[in-house]
Protein backbone atom coordinates (compact mmCIF):
# COMPACT_ATOMS: atom_id res chain seq x y z
CA UNK A 1 0.00 0.00 0.00
CA UNK A 2 1.35 3.44 -0.90
CA UNK A 3 1.95 5.80 2.02
CA UNK A 4 0.84 9.43 1.65
CA UNK A 5 0.02 12.53 3.65
CA UNK A 6 -2.75 15.15 3.50
CA UNK A 7 -0.61 17.57 1.48
CA UNK A 8 -0.01 15.00 -1.26
CA UNK A 9 -3.73 14.26 -1.44
CA UNK A 10 -4.47 17.95 -1.89
CA UNK A 11 -1.89 18.60 -4.57
CA UNK A 12 -2.30 15.46 -6.68
CA UNK A 13 0.45 13.36 -8.29
CA UNK A 14 3.98 14.70 -8.30
CA UNK A 15 6.18 14.62 -11.37
CA UNK A 16 5.42 12.81 -14.63
CA UNK A 17 2.11 10.96 -14.96
CA UNK A 18 0.85 7.95 -16.92
CA UNK A 19 -2.60 7.58 -18.40
CA UNK A 20 -4.02 4.36 -16.96
CA UNK A 21 -6.83 2.34 -18.51
CA UNK A 22 -8.79 -0.10 -16.37
CA UNK A 23 -11.37 -2.66 -17.43
CA UNK A 24 -13.82 -3.09 -14.57
CA UNK A 25 -16.59 -5.58 -13.82
CA UNK A 26 -19.25 -4.91 -11.21
CA UNK A 27 -22.53 -6.03 -9.72
CA UNK A 28 -24.69 -2.93 -9.95
CA UNK A 29 -27.31 -3.86 -7.36
CA UNK A 30 -25.54 -2.43 -4.27
CA UNK A 31 -24.88 0.89 -6.03
CA UNK A 32 -26.81 4.03 -7.01
CA UNK A 33 -25.36 3.95 -10.52
CA UNK A 34 -21.81 4.50 -11.73
CA UNK A 35 -21.28 8.27 -11.45
CA UNK A 36 -20.18 9.85 -8.19
CA UNK A 37 -23.18 11.19 -6.29
CA UNK A 38 -22.76 12.78 -2.88
CA UNK A 39 -24.50 10.95 -0.08
CA UNK A 40 -24.98 7.62 -1.88
CA UNK A 41 -22.74 4.68 -2.74
CA UNK A 42 -21.73 4.53 -6.40
CA UNK A 43 -19.28 2.47 -8.44
CA UNK A 44 -17.14 5.48 -9.32
CA UNK A 45 -17.21 6.56 -5.69
CA UNK A 46 -15.75 3.32 -4.33
CA UNK A 47 -13.29 3.02 -7.22
CA UNK A 48 -12.05 6.58 -6.76
CA UNK A 49 -11.62 6.07 -3.01
CA UNK A 50 -9.69 2.83 -3.52
CA UNK A 51 -7.43 4.30 -6.21
CA UNK A 52 -6.76 7.43 -4.15
CA UNK A 53 -5.93 5.29 -1.13
CA UNK A 54 -3.57 3.07 -3.07
CA UNK A 55 -1.85 5.72 -5.21
CA UNK A 56 -1.63 8.38 -2.52
CA UNK A 57 -3.04 11.14 -4.72
CA UNK A 58 -6.50 12.08 -6.04
CA UNK A 59 -7.73 10.61 -9.30
CA UNK A 60 -10.45 11.79 -11.65
CA UNK A 61 -12.14 8.93 -13.47
CA UNK A 62 -13.55 9.04 -16.99
CA UNK A 63 -15.78 6.11 -17.93
CA UNK A 64 -16.99 4.69 -21.23
CA UNK A 65 -20.64 4.70 -20.16
CA UNK A 66 -22.48 5.83 -17.04
CA UNK A 67 -24.67 2.92 -16.02
CA UNK A 68 -27.85 3.57 -14.01
CA UNK A 69 -28.71 2.34 -10.56
CA UNK A 70 -28.80 -1.46 -10.42
CA UNK A 71 -27.24 -1.98 -13.86
CA UNK A 72 -24.22 -4.28 -14.09
CA UNK A 73 -21.06 -4.22 -16.18
CA UNK A 74 -18.78 -7.00 -17.33
CA UNK A 75 -16.31 -4.77 -19.18
CA UNK A 76 -16.67 -1.10 -18.23
CA UNK A 77 -13.64 1.00 -19.17
CA UNK A 78 -12.24 3.88 -17.11
CA UNK A 79 -9.21 6.10 -17.55
CA UNK A 80 -7.27 8.39 -15.21
CA UNK A 81 -3.81 9.84 -14.61
CA UNK A 82 -1.44 8.34 -12.04
CA UNK A 83 2.06 9.24 -10.91
CA UNK A 84 4.40 7.35 -13.25
CA UNK A 85 7.20 6.79 -10.76
CA UNK A 86 6.92 3.40 -9.10
CA UNK A 87 3.61 2.59 -10.80
CA UNK A 88 2.96 -1.16 -10.50
CA UNK A 89 -0.21 -2.00 -12.42
CA UNK A 90 -0.34 -5.60 -11.23
CA UNK A 91 -0.20 -4.49 -7.61
CA UNK A 92 -2.76 -1.76 -8.31
CA UNK A 93 -5.16 -4.26 -9.88
CA UNK A 94 -4.87 -6.65 -6.93
CA UNK A 95 -5.14 -3.94 -4.27
CA UNK A 96 -8.14 -2.14 -5.79
CA UNK A 97 -9.97 -5.42 -6.44
CA UNK A 98 -9.38 -6.43 -2.83
CA UNK A 99 -10.64 -3.09 -1.50
CA UNK A 100 -13.72 -2.98 -3.76
CA UNK A 101 -14.52 -6.66 -4.22
CA UNK A 102 -16.45 -8.75 -4.63
CA UNK A 103 -18.97 -6.23 -6.00
CA UNK A 104 -16.32 -4.41 -8.07
CA UNK A 105 -13.15 -5.94 -9.55
CA UNK A 106 -10.48 -4.72 -11.96
CA UNK A 107 -10.03 -7.31 -14.69
CA UNK A 108 -7.28 -5.46 -16.61
CA UNK A 109 -4.95 -2.55 -15.92
CA UNK A 110 -2.65 -1.11 -18.59
CA UNK A 111 -0.86 2.11 -19.44
CA UNK A 112 -2.63 3.74 -22.39
CA UNK A 113 -1.44 6.45 -24.74
CA UNK A 114 -1.18 9.85 -23.08
CA UNK A 115 -4.35 11.29 -24.64
CA UNK A 116 -6.56 8.18 -24.27
CA UNK A 117 -10.09 8.99 -23.09
CA UNK A 118 -12.37 6.13 -22.05
CA UNK A 119 -15.48 8.03 -23.10
CA UNK A 120 -14.60 10.01 -26.21
CA UNK A 121 -12.33 7.40 -27.80
CA UNK A 122 -14.99 4.69 -27.62
CA UNK A 123 -16.52 3.86 -31.00
CA UNK A 124 -19.33 1.58 -29.77
CA UNK A 125 -20.91 0.10 -26.67
CA UNK A 126 -22.71 -3.23 -26.46
CA UNK A 127 -25.32 -4.02 -23.81
CA UNK A 128 -26.82 -7.40 -22.94
CA UNK A 129 -30.22 -7.94 -21.32
CA UNK A 130 -31.39 -11.29 -19.92
CA UNK A 131 -35.03 -12.39 -19.64
CA UNK A 132 -36.02 -15.61 -17.86
CA UNK A 133 -39.21 -16.66 -19.62
CA UNK A 134 -40.72 -19.59 -17.75
CA UNK A 135 -43.43 -20.05 -15.11
CA UNK A 136 -41.12 -20.64 -12.16
CA UNK A 137 -38.35 -18.22 -11.19
CA UNK A 138 -34.76 -19.25 -10.48
CA UNK A 139 -33.26 -17.77 -7.30
CA UNK A 140 -29.75 -18.18 -8.70
CA UNK A 141 -30.56 -16.24 -11.88
CA UNK A 142 -32.81 -13.68 -10.20
CA UNK A 143 -30.08 -11.04 -9.62
CA UNK A 144 -29.26 -10.97 -13.36
CA UNK A 145 -32.56 -11.64 -15.15
CA UNK A 146 -36.05 -10.20 -15.57
CA UNK A 147 -38.46 -13.02 -14.79
CA UNK A 148 -41.44 -12.96 -17.18
CA UNK A 149 -43.90 -15.75 -16.40
CA UNK A 150 -46.19 -15.61 -19.45
CA UNK A 151 -44.88 -17.16 -22.70
CA UNK A 152 -43.23 -14.69 -25.07
CA UNK A 153 -43.56 -14.72 -28.86
CA UNK A 154 -39.84 -14.73 -29.65
CA UNK A 155 -40.23 -14.56 -33.47
CA UNK A 156 -42.29 -11.37 -33.08
CA UNK A 157 -39.64 -9.88 -30.81
CA UNK A 158 -36.93 -10.78 -33.32
CA UNK A 159 -38.91 -9.19 -36.15
CA UNK A 160 -39.40 -6.01 -34.13
CA UNK A 161 -35.62 -5.54 -33.88
CA UNK A 162 -35.24 -4.66 -37.57
CA UNK A 163 -36.52 -1.05 -37.34
CA UNK A 164 -34.00 -0.32 -34.58
CA UNK A 165 -31.01 -0.77 -36.90
CA UNK A 166 -29.60 2.43 -38.35
CA UNK A 167 -29.50 6.06 -37.29
CA UNK A 168 -32.69 7.33 -35.67
CA UNK A 169 -33.97 9.86 -33.19
CA UNK A 170 -34.64 7.66 -30.15
CA UNK A 171 -36.65 10.25 -28.20
CA UNK A 172 -39.45 7.68 -27.78
CA UNK A 173 -37.09 5.48 -25.77
CA UNK A 174 -35.06 8.01 -23.79
CA UNK A 175 -35.32 10.34 -20.86
CA UNK A 176 -34.49 13.76 -22.29
CA UNK A 177 -31.48 15.25 -20.47
CA UNK A 178 -31.52 18.77 -19.08
CA UNK A 179 -28.72 20.96 -20.41
CA UNK A 180 -27.32 23.88 -18.50
CA UNK A 181 -27.31 26.09 -21.59
CA UNK A 182 -31.02 25.46 -22.17
CA UNK A 183 -30.48 23.91 -25.61
CA UNK A 184 -32.25 20.71 -26.56
CA UNK A 185 -29.94 17.70 -26.50
CA UNK A 186 -29.87 15.44 -29.56
CA UNK A 187 -31.18 11.92 -29.00
CA UNK A 188 -30.08 10.66 -32.43
CA UNK A 189 -28.15 7.41 -32.09
CA UNK A 190 -26.74 4.88 -34.57
CA UNK A 191 -27.63 1.27 -33.72
CA UNK A 192 -25.51 -1.35 -35.51
CA UNK A 193 -26.91 -4.53 -33.92
CA UNK A 194 -30.10 -5.55 -32.13
CA UNK A 195 -30.87 -9.23 -31.74
CA UNK A 196 -32.54 -11.83 -29.52
CA UNK A 197 -31.06 -15.25 -28.76
CA UNK A 198 -32.66 -18.29 -27.11
CA UNK A 199 -30.07 -19.75 -24.75
CA UNK A 200 -32.34 -22.62 -23.68
CA UNK A 201 -34.29 -23.42 -20.53
CA UNK A 202 -36.33 -20.24 -20.98
CA UNK A 203 -33.33 -17.89 -20.91
CA UNK A 204 -33.61 -15.19 -23.60
CA UNK A 205 -30.70 -12.88 -24.37
CA UNK A 206 -31.05 -9.49 -26.05
CA UNK A 207 -27.94 -7.73 -27.34
CA UNK A 208 -27.80 -4.23 -28.74
CA UNK A 209 -24.80 -2.25 -29.95
CA UNK A 210 -24.62 1.43 -30.84
CA UNK A 211 -22.18 4.27 -31.13
CA UNK A 212 -23.64 5.51 -27.85
CA UNK A 213 -26.88 5.32 -25.87
CA UNK A 214 -29.11 7.89 -24.26
CA UNK A 215 -30.48 7.63 -20.73
CA UNK A 216 -32.66 4.52 -20.15
CA UNK A 217 -32.70 3.74 -23.87
CA UNK A 218 -31.91 0.02 -23.64
CA UNK A 219 -34.35 -0.66 -20.80
CA UNK A 220 -37.10 1.17 -22.69
CA UNK A 221 -36.38 -0.78 -25.88
CA UNK A 222 -36.43 -4.10 -23.98
CA UNK A 223 -39.66 -3.18 -22.21
CA UNK A 224 -41.27 -2.37 -25.55
CA UNK A 225 -40.02 -5.59 -27.19
CA UNK A 226 -41.26 -7.72 -24.30
CA UNK A 227 -44.63 -5.99 -24.64
CA UNK A 228 -44.64 -7.15 -28.27
CA UNK A 229 -43.73 -10.65 -27.13
CA UNK A 230 -46.71 -10.62 -24.76
CA UNK A 231 -49.05 -9.60 -27.57
CA UNK A 232 -49.73 -6.11 -26.26
CA UNK A 233 -48.35 -4.60 -29.47
CA UNK A 234 -47.50 -5.80 -32.95
CA UNK A 235 -43.96 -5.91 -34.31
CA UNK A 236 -44.99 -3.59 -37.13
CA UNK A 237 -45.76 -0.82 -34.65
CA UNK A 238 -42.12 -0.25 -33.73
CA UNK A 239 -41.36 1.94 -36.74
CA UNK A 240 -44.23 4.22 -35.80
CA UNK A 241 -43.07 4.37 -32.19
CA UNK A 242 -39.61 5.50 -33.30
CA UNK A 243 -41.03 8.11 -35.68
CA UNK A 244 -43.38 9.47 -32.99
CA UNK A 245 -40.46 10.67 -30.86
CA UNK A 246 -42.94 10.42 -27.99
CA UNK A 247 -41.78 8.64 -24.83
CA UNK A 248 -45.41 7.80 -23.99
CA UNK A 249 -45.67 5.78 -27.21
CA UNK A 250 -43.07 3.20 -26.11
CA UNK A 251 -43.39 0.52 -23.43
CA UNK A 252 -42.50 0.56 -19.76
CA UNK A 253 -38.90 0.35 -18.59
CA UNK A 254 -37.49 -3.13 -18.12
CA UNK A 255 -36.02 -3.67 -14.62
CA UNK A 256 -32.40 -2.52 -14.28
CA UNK A 257 -30.96 -5.75 -12.86
CA UNK A 258 -31.33 -7.62 -16.17
CA UNK A 259 -29.05 -5.17 -17.97
CA UNK A 260 -25.27 -5.39 -18.32
CA UNK A 261 -22.69 -3.29 -20.15
CA UNK A 262 -21.04 -6.13 -22.03
CA UNK A 263 -18.20 -4.50 -23.95
CA UNK A 264 -16.81 -1.22 -25.25
CA UNK A 265 -15.12 -0.92 -28.65
CA UNK A 266 -12.25 1.34 -29.59
CA UNK A 267 -10.45 1.82 -32.88
CA UNK A 268 -7.76 -0.76 -32.15
CA UNK A 269 -9.05 -2.54 -29.07
CA UNK A 270 -12.16 -3.92 -27.39
CA UNK A 271 -12.91 -4.48 -23.72
CA UNK A 272 -14.60 -7.78 -24.52
CA UNK A 273 -13.71 -10.36 -21.86
CA UNK A 274 -13.16 -14.00 -22.55
CA UNK A 275 -16.42 -15.94 -22.81
Q: Classify the C-alpha dihedral 33-34-36-41 as positive or negative.
A: positive
Cα distances (Å, whole numbers) of residue 4 to 81, 165, 225: 17, 51, 52
Q: What are phi and psi of 100, to 5 degrees?
A: -100, -20
Catalytic residue among 5, 27, 68, 81: 68
Q: Quick check: 55 and 48 in contact, CB under 8 A?
A: no
**Secondary structure string (H, E, C) spanning 186-244:** CCEEEEEEEEEEECCCCEEEEEEEECCCCCCHHHHHHHHHHHHHCCCCCHHHHHHHHHH
Instruction: Let me know if 68 is a catalytic residue.
Output: yes
Burial class (CB in 10 A: 0-12, 13-18, 19+), 173: buried
- Which residues carry out catalysis? 68
Amino acid sequence: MTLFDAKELATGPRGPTSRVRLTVAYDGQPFHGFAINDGVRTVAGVLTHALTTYLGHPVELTCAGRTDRGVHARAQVVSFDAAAEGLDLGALQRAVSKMCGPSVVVTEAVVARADFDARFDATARRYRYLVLNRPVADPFLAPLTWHVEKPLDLPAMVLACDPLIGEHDFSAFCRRPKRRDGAEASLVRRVTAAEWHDDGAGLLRFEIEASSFCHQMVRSVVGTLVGIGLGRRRAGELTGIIRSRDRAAAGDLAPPHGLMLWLVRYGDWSSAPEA
